[in-house]
Chains A and B, each alone.
Chain A
Amino acid sequence: MGNLLVLTAREWKAFWYSPVAYVVGGCFLIMHGWVFWLLMAVLNDPRVDPSWRMSQFFFGGTLFYWLSMLVMAPVLTMRTFSEEKRTGTMELLLSAPVTDVQVVLAKFLGAWLCYSALWASTILYFALLRRYTPLDWGPILTGYLGTFLLGAVLIAIGCLASSLTRNQVIAAVVGFVAMLLLFSVGFLAVFVTDPETVKLVKYLALLEHFQDFSKGILDTRPLVFYVSLGALALFLTVRTISHPRWRA
């Protein structure tokens, strides 16, 4: 446990020591500030259905949201293992008295905390909005919860991609494509006719889950799905790291 904390703290600091943090963070804030403003402008229009809420669009309701997710996760995770393998620091890390599970968990947690910190800063937008209008905090909180959970899944996948190569660009591309495929599995629902398969496809569809989260509906099915998929990706990462071929 102590080791996990030390390793996670190291990952967290390494992120803020690198310019990547400020480039990704800056772009993230610009983009979501812009989206928030756009949504404000649209929702303020008198022709718009007054029952529509900010949270249902801000979380998963726009192309920007998904685009930023699918770009951010690979960029935040691409260095986790690849860089240490390329520079050779992996050898020192693994010769310390730490277990593979601790190393993988720390890298995952470090990246996920950075991701969550960036997202958490957007709460300011809602705080600002609150000054002008009463807000229903329920859907906002479930929106954040869904975003953190989805982030956990994507970051676990990104870590897995990074553990497979010593090249950061390859890690980012592989991670991005894997996440894109996961994201678009739900589109298959249009093509399949077998009702059981439709159920399965819908269970896997990230977009549909998000409509629930952003409306304030807390369904255990996507929770189980996210946690188990993230755990699977992390398990595979541990397996890769302990395999002699990908170890260092």
Chain B
Amino acid sequence: MSAAIEVSNLTKRYGAVTALNRISFQVERGEIMGFLGPNGAGKTTTLRILTGLIEPTEGLVRVEGMDVTNHPVEVRRRIGYLPENVSLYPELRVEEYLSYRAAIKGVPRSQRRPRLEEVVQRCALGDVRRRIIGRLSKGYRQRVGLADCLIGQPSILILDEPTVGLDPHQIRQTRELIKDVGRQTTVLLSTHILPEVEMICDRVAIIDHGAIVAVDSPENLRRAMTGTQVVHVELRGDSQAIEQAVAQVRSIPGVQAEIRIPLEEVFIRLTTKDTE
């Protein structure tokens, strides 16, 4: 059986800017894969190519063995996509919106009601099901977006930063939901939060500057990074100054061995980027 998602030598250029540079990775069926990287690394671009929203400049993208460019509708039927900024029709009620989306995703008429009930229950939307979407809080809207992803019973979920902008309680709920859904469904989610990946994902692809830096399980990545002691440092400030500081740390014997591993560098860079 073909992999759920298969990306090989994918390149995307916007004029002179190369957003993605020959990236390749695979997502196996049933696994939860994290896409980790700083803002602007190319996560959203990759996900939007997977859903057929934008076309790749070069390279091959297959979803369950089907080429995204040649079979856009079939591919989209198998994918539930949650965009980075979830925007929904503000004038509709939650139920109206979800039943419209169920219809558009080809859920047969007789199954729309039960599907709707299921996702409303699963995404804890019971309290707001008759409310108008435009008046909902960001957290609820995010959940309506998730419910929308699930209603077509897709075999693959693509979630772009699903926990951004939520409060801690909602973040925890969303992560639980993703883990729960991930038991039967392939999930590819992007994030720039390292602990999130460790909590949810079976495997991680780290992307930076439009290139894949590493693909492995969170445990292995962590093991590769750690010696006997791990110190997480969040650095704020001028990236050059930080680089100098890193160079200084590197010059300390013993520590040097840790710093020499390129992954460490990636994470230091991640933190500096995020604070911008």
Q: Which residues of A contact B (CB under 8 A)?
A: 2-3, 6-7, 10, 14, 17-18, 87-89, 91-92, 94-99, 244, 247-248
Contacts and interface: CB of A to CB of B under 8 A. Distances in A.
Contact of B103 (A6, A14, A88): A6
A98 B85 CA distance: 21
B224 interface: no
B73 A91 contact: no
B144 to A, nearest CB: 11
A248 B72 CA distance: 16
Contact of B148 (A17, A88, A92): A92
Contacts of A248: 53
Which of B55, B90, B91, B104 has the most chain A CB atoms inside 10 A of its CB?
B104
Contacts of A88: 83, 85, 87
B269 interface: no
Contacts of B52: 94-95
Interface in B124-177: 148, 152
A95 B76 contact: yes
Given A6-B100, A98-B104, A247-B54, A91 B76 contact: no
Given A96-B76, A244-B54, A248-B53, 18 more contacts: A7-B104, A17-B91, A18-B91, A89-B89, A92-B81, A92-B148, A94-B52, A95-B76, A95-B79, A95-B81, A96-B101, A96-B104, A96-B105, A97-B76, A97-B106, A98-B73, A99-B72, A247-B53
Contacts of B90: 87
A14 B91 contact: yes
B190 interface: no
Interface in B58-115: 72-74, 76-77, 79, 81, 83, 85, 87-92, 100-101, 103-106
Contacts of A89: 87-89
7 A-B pairs with the lowest CB-CB distances in the bound complex, closest first: A88-B87, A97-B77, A97-B76, A95-B81, A6-B103, A17-B91, A95-B51
B159 to A, nearest CB: 12
Nearest to A100: B72
Interface residues of B, number: 28
Given A97-B106, A247-B54, A91 B83 contact: yes
A6 B112 CA distance: 13
B106 A2 contact: yes
B91 A91 contact: no
Interface in B29-68: 51-55
A69 B89 CA distance: 28
A96 B82 CA distance: 11
B87 A91 contact: yes
Contacts of B53: 91, 94-95, 247-248
Nearest to B72: A99
Contacts of B89: 14, 89
Contacts of B51: 95
Contacts of B105: 96-97
A99 B81 CA distance: 16
Given A14-B91, A91-B83, A244 B55 contact: yes
Nearest to A91: B83
Contacts of A99: 72-73
B104 A3 contact: yes
Contacts of A97: 73-74, 76-77, 104-106, 152
Contacts of B101: 96
Contacts of B87: 87-89, 91-92
Interface in B8-38: none
Which of B72, B73, B89, B91 has the most chain A CB atoms inside 10 A of its CB?
B89
Contacts of B83: 88, 91-92, 95
Contacts of B92: 17
B103 A92 contact: no
A17 to B, nearest CB: 5
Given A6-B103, A97-B76, A92 B91 contact: no
A7 B101 CA distance: 10
Contacts of B88: 89, 92
9 contacts: A87-B90, A88-B83, A92-B81, A92-B87, A95-B52, A97-B76, A97-B104, A97-B105, A248-B53
Contacts of A18: 91
A97 B88 CA distance: 17
A99 B100 CA distance: 16
Which of A2, A96, A248 has the most chain B CB atoms inside 10 A of its CB?
A96
A14 B88 CA distance: 13
A3 B105 CA distance: 8
A246 B91 CA distance: 25
Contacts of A91: 53, 83, 87
